[in-house]
Structure 1
Amino acid sequence: MVDDIFTLLEWIQHELMLFAAFGFMLGAIDDLVIDVIWAGRHFWKRLFIYSRHEAMTALSLPRSSDHGHLAVFVPAWDEAAVIGPMLRYCLKCWPQEDVRIFVGCYPNDPASIGAVAEVAALDARITLVLGSRDGPTTKGDCLNGLWAAMERQEHAQGFRFKGIILHDAEDVVHRAEIALFDGMLDRFDLVQIPVLPLVDRRSRWVSGHYCDEFAEAHGKSLIVRELLGAAMPSAGVGCAFSRHFMSLIAERQGGGPFDADCLTEDYELGLRIGELGGRGVLVRLPDGEGGIVCTREYFPDRLDAAVRQKARWMTGIALAGWDRLGWQGTLAERWMRLRDRRALLAAVVLTCAYVALLLYAITGVARILTGKEPLAFPYYLTLILIVNGLLLVWRMAMRCGFVMRFYGWREAVRSVPRNFVANFIAIMAARRAVAQYTRMRRGSGAIWEKTAHQFPDELAASRL
């Protein structure tokens, strides 16, 4: 009887392992194709472009021939701890830039209102926008309030903004981004600069796994996406939109350009610009000082906060995004949307794999104690496992390479074990995302479920 139970467990373990192994192989091949495309573009540019022309940097960036006003939108709910230092740092980085910073607050958040008002008194370029309803609503709703305030300022002062830049209340901006956005908006309708998480030494594993993911996504995946002609999704920070396309989307929606009922309004906005024929681009511009023009920020440093954030992304992109955006577009566009939405399936595959490993350990120990031979793996499962092992080595090598490029070799080494942390967070987030999506389908509205933020102490200490 006991032997029959362990035989059944071994059979279940084999089936789960086969399912997981096949799922891993499909995902790894998908990633391998992206790697090959990126490598081909990378080496082609090195051999035929940069061998003849010196790479441009922020120091040699020419000013736009069509210089215009730029609006910066910063939604702020319960951000009293970071919004003041963030705004001061913006003013310090952009002392002469022609920007207007619109900060959205809520009537029931007096601490954030006070922090914004204190900095706004120092510079007329900051406009405090108070919402008509208590918070939190949604980030999209807050952004639409900023859009309306911007239009009122345009009407009162008799000019039209050239573009809109999005930032969060905890962002560390780059001094060269305004000039970059001003120039690139002459040719593109969505301009995204890399988002590189700051290394949180108090949370090497939870916060650190964002460093790994963004280094690869903004160092490779978005570049391939642009190369294939698929729509460029906005990261929600460090991005600029042309005024023309924002107006076009606002007119189509009969209000503001941001969808107030969406959890990932930034992602959807980028795809909708692509659907309307707009062009998006990821700009990786060296700043001439050893880095690149990018947006930096701390990401969640606690497990529960990371799970909440990842669950919101999964709900908005993989589940609600499927409903709202469908599968239209070119073959490349559909492929990229499939990659965007595979997170939930990947979580299922990971769960099956870990359960299979647990059963393998249990039945293995039991067979050793009883002295009986375990069931042999089918030959095809053994073959798939070998292929997956080789692909896993390649995948880890690629990730280490991108992490080392931005964060150095120590973080690159940490990225290998951090992958297990990322997998656990993905599994927990998938469970939460399904529950959240189910509530939304039953009529529960979207809520701005934000996490607590921090701003670098050394920058917060600096004053104008």
Structure 2
Amino acid sequence: MTFIELFTDYLYVLRYIALGLMVIMLIFAIDDLFIDIYYWTRRLWRALVVYRKREPFNEQALLKLKEKPLAIMIPAWQEVGVVGKMAELAASELDYENYQIFVGSYPNDTATQADVDAVCQRFPNVHKVVCARPGPTSKADCLNNVIASILSFEDRTRVKFAGFIMHDAEDVVSAMELRLFNHLLERKDLIQLPVYPFSKGPWHFTAGHYLDEFSEMHGKDMVVRESLVGQVPSAGVGTCFSRRAILKLTEEGDGLPFDVQSLTEDYDIGFRMKQWGMEEIFVHFSVSDDKYAPFAESSRSRSEAGGNVVCVREYFPETLTTSVRQKSRWIVGIVFQGMQIHKWSSNWKLNYFLWRDRKGVIAHFVSFFATIIAIHVIGLMIYDALDKDGYRFMSLFKDDYLSILLVQVNFVFFLNRIFQRMIFVRRYYGIVQALVSPLRLLWGNLINFLANLRAIKQVIEQGGNPKRVAWDKTEHVYPTVSDRSLGLSVGRILTANGIISEAQLQQALEQRAADEKLGQTLLRLEHISSDQLGQTLAEQASVDFEHVDPFSVSDDIIQLVPARVALRYRVFPIRLDNGRLIVASENRQSPVAIASLERQLEQQVSYVICQAGAVTLGLRFHYQQIAEADPRPVLDKYAGQLSAEQRQRVLDKYYNQQIQFGDALQQVGLIETPIFNQLMFEFDPTGEQKLGDFMVERYVITPEVVEEVLTLQRQRQRSIEHLVEDVTAQGVSV
């Protein structure tokens, strides 16, 4: 046979393959058209009927609600340098305070553990969890260890978390995320936020195809799914589970809430909760104030409302290899493991979306081969157009009415598909990304095809059992938010600055009492002054130091900070500086606390670190109305007995020995700092109940512990009279 005859036979075979592919594509297109029609019909109905009867609901309504305690869960395997950035960003951006972050790490990942340890020192609301088994296991296994740690934290604090939020270490959270969860947890058990990938520019096709897919899927498909069947698959990030849901999952899993063999535990868990009759929601909530959406896209052509939706943002893989690896894991988990775990049900609506989840394993192959055939046909058309006297290969397709009809119908549906995608891409990313999205479609088809091949290969290599496929982690990147570091210890800073010698540092470490910090020991041994300690703490925290006289601050400044706020955060206002309120603190303040102060006081706040005791005395004198906190009237009685130097020594000692009940409780090791901070959310420092009584009531400490700490305070906080007597009797400092 000649080449032309062989090529003609090949085209005949190709024609029937094309017919089969076009029939399958038509079925898929009708499926997608149903979703389009349902979405737009529902949106029109809600615009004309539903929203006209409702009062506007915006972020201001969320801000009025009392903050429930929330727990954020982050599985981390080889995430050095990522967790710290997320914690810092959350602290500075989240318009919320009553939350704790629990980071799951592995015993054989010491680098990530060290990174998390450093973060925990800077952020008291971040906690390290070390999984029982070496990694990498699976995301589900890591989350199970995290949840066990959260429940243990609850036992110690007697605080019950209302919501458990799932995030990855590289997620960039929206400012109003936790407030939105806080509002919806009253009636919802699973809350899923949209995910919008960061844009690398319109011509980054690999990263860009993610934003195309997520824009349409989370802008339309998930909305229809929730409306029709009330079931929402978690995206694995930006998912909040109610306390009721976590306890039910733990009970049903015999202590393991998540399926440890699942590569997409987020997808699996939504079905389990639906079977138990729990309420699930995929929520689109837009903020009206741009300050609550600082990481939204900046394009002016994006939707005003859709562009400010509360969502999760993250970078997705930029290379073909990493993208294929990530998507193959999704396919194994959703399609192959999903078919093994979740059988067809009696609910046709649920079956319909199961079909949509699983059709991808076919659709991706169909799309890829359809693209190849289209390239063939386009090449033949070009040949026909250029060589008028050549062979008429296109007649094999042109003379077939069915082929022409299918091509025409599928082409119309294809244009609709492109148009729909452009609508949803434009909504969040703007018109430029929308116009480029059709070009990225072909590249996305290739990625999905290769991911399918890899997923099938992985399952075959495991003897056809998809549950045996290992967790294939995707490398993460994170936007740069700060270059601040943890810094050196107090002892190292003092020796490096030549304030104390190595011998003095060693002496302090050896003679440090169990109820003392190192700085307090150095003060007691008179190796340093209170100002030197304050300057060292300020250097460690990368803030300024200022010597503060708490009794000379005017009432106008004091009134800028309510007693409830000052006592809660243990800060003392000292002045206004170009409209910014400057407050003093004796210790490092977390970014979470400073951000919360700014929200509550409705103005910009900066803090300085002052000498020991200044804030404690200022709070007692000005806010707790304890006149005896001011030592000056008593000292004035001894004006003729004390020299100026002796008077200053007595005053310094009086400041240095001051300690608040909560600080004393932590220093003697009777309560952990994170637990103390969590309990302070529930305590009203301006009420009649004392802090010790409150903690006894919560069964955190016993009455005997309260008395022990009060005794410690009395021993430490000697009166001015005693200090003066010692000075005058001995003639030396005390």
TM class by shorter chain equals: over 0.9
On the 8 A contact 1:203/1:301 being kept in 2, the answer is no
CA distance in 2 between counterparts of 1:294 and 1:365 reads 46
On the 8 A contact 1:264/1:317 being kept in 2, the answer is yes
Matches within 5 A, 1:290-369: 290=290, 291-360=308-377
Task: Return the letter of the residue paired with 2:218.
Answer: H
CA distance in 2 between counterparts of 1:460 and 1:451 reads 24
C-alpha change, 1:371 and 1:313, in structure 2 (3 Å) is: same
Task: Return the letter of the residue paired with 2:391.
Answer: K
Give the match's secondary structure for 1:61: helix
On the 8 A contact 1:10/1:363 being kept in 2, the answer is no
User: What TM-score, normalized to structure 2?
Assistant: 0.60
- Which residue of structure 1 aligns with residue 254 of structure 2? 254
Which of 474, 488, 491 is the aligned partner of 1:451? 474
On the 8 A contact 1:246/1:257 being kept in 2, the answer is yes
Give the match's secondary structure for 2:255: coil
Task: Return the letter of the residue paired with 2:88.
Answer: R
Matches within 5 A, 1:25-36: 25-36=26-37
**Could you give the per-residue CA deviations for residues 405-428 of structure 1, whole angstroms, max 9, x where no partner exists?**
000000001111011111010110
Task: Return the letter of the residue paired with 1:70.
Answer: L
On the 8 A contact 1:101/1:126 being kept in 2, the answer is yes
Structure 1 residue 114: Cα displacement: 1.7
Moved more, 165-174 or 75-84: 75-84
C-alpha change, 1:230 and 1:50, in structure 2 (3 Å) is: closer
Structure 1 residue 240: Cα displacement: 0.2
Count of matched residue pairs: 462
User: What TM-score, normalized to structure 1?
Assistant: 0.94
Which of 442, 462, 473 is the aligned partner of 1:420? 442
CA distance in 2 between counterparts of 1:252 and 1:78 reads 31
**Could you give the per-residue CA deviations for residues 57-98 of structure 1, whole angstroms, max 9, x where no partner exists?**
223326557x53211100000111311111111122247521
Matches within 5 A, 1:267-286: 267-286=267-286
Structure 2's unaligned 5+ residue stretches are 291-307, 486-590, 592-734
Task: Return the letter of the residue paired with 2:476.
Answer: H
CA distance in 2 between counterparts of 1:141 and 1:284 reads 30
C-alpha change, 1:41 and 1:212, in structure 2 (3 Å) is: same
Task: Return the letter of the residue paired with 1:5.
Answer: L
Q: Does 1:430 align with 2:452?
A: yes
Moved more, 46-55 or 68-77: 46-55
Q: Does 1:376 align with 2:384?
A: no
Give the match's secondary structure for 1:60: helix
C-alpha change, 1:417 and 1:361, in structure 2 (3 Å) is: closer
CA distance in 1 between counterparts of 2:359 and 2:154 reads 42
On the 8 A contact 2:202/2:208 being kept in 1, the answer is no
CA distance in 1 between counterparts of 2:115 and 2:361 reads 39
Moved more, 155-164 or 280-289: 155-164
Give the match's secondary structure for 1:73: strand
Structure 1 residue 105: Cα displacement: 0.7
Matches within 5 A, 1:186-205: 186-201=186-201, 204-205=204-205
C-alpha change, 1:91 and 1:441, in structure 2 (3 Å) is: farther
Moved more, 150-159 or 137-146: 150-159
Moved more, 71-80 or 43-52: 43-52
- Which residue of structure 2 aligns with residue 151 of structure 1? 151
**Could you give the per-residue CA deviations for residues 252-272 of structure 1, whole angstroms, max 9, x where no partner exists?**
121221111001001111111
C-alpha change, 1:123 and 1:372, in structure 2 (3 Å) is: closer
- Which residue of structure 1 aligns with residue 461 of structure 2? 439
On the 8 A contact 1:165/1:239 being kept in 2, the answer is yes
CA distance in 1 between counterparts of 2:152 and 2:53 reads 48
Task: Return the letter of the residue paired with 1:339.
Answer: R
C-alpha change, 1:221 and 1:238, in structure 2 (3 Å) is: same
Structure 1 residue 36: Cα displacement: 0.6
**Could you give the per-residue CA deviations for residues 133-176 of structure 1, whole angstroms, max 9, x where no partner exists?**
22111110100000111111112222322121000000001121
Which of 423, 426, 438 is the aligned partner of 1:404? 426
Matches within 5 A, 1:180-259: 180-201=180-201, 204-259=204-259
Structure 1's unaligned 5+ residue stretches are none
**Could you give the per-residue CA deviations for residues 354-392 of structure 1, whole angstroms, max 9, x where no partner exists?**
342354467668885982332432211110110011111
Moved more, 182-191 or 51-60: 51-60
Give the match's secondary structure for 1:206: helix
Structure 1 residue 431: Cα displacement: 0.2
Q: State the percentage of identical aligned residues.
A: 34
C-alpha change, 1:441 and 1:183, in structure 2 (3 Å) is: farther
C-alpha change, 1:282 and 1:369, in structure 2 (3 Å) is: same
On the 8 A contact 2:96/2:179 being kept in 1, the answer is no
Give the match's secondary structure for 2:81: coil
CA distance in 2 between counterparts of 1:139 and 1:263 reads 7
Task: Return the letter of the residue paired with 2:87.
Answer: L
On the 8 A contact 1:64/1:186 being kept in 2, the answer is no
Matches within 5 A, 1:85-104: 85-94=85-94, 96-104=96-104
CA distance in 1 between counterparts of 2:224 and 2:155 reads 40
- Which residue of structure 1 aligns with residue 708 of structure 2? none
C-alpha change, 1:63 and 1:275, in structure 2 (3 Å) is: farther
- The alignment's C-alpha RMSD in Å is 2.1
Q: Does 1:19 align with 2:20?
A: yes
Structure 1 residue 202: Cα displacement: 9.1
CA distance in 2 between counterparts of 1:272 and 1:106 reads 28
Moved more, 289-298 or 404-413: 289-298
Specify which structure has the bigger relative contact order, considering alpha-carbon pairs within 8 angstroms and separated by 6 or more residues. 1
Structure showing greater Rg? 2
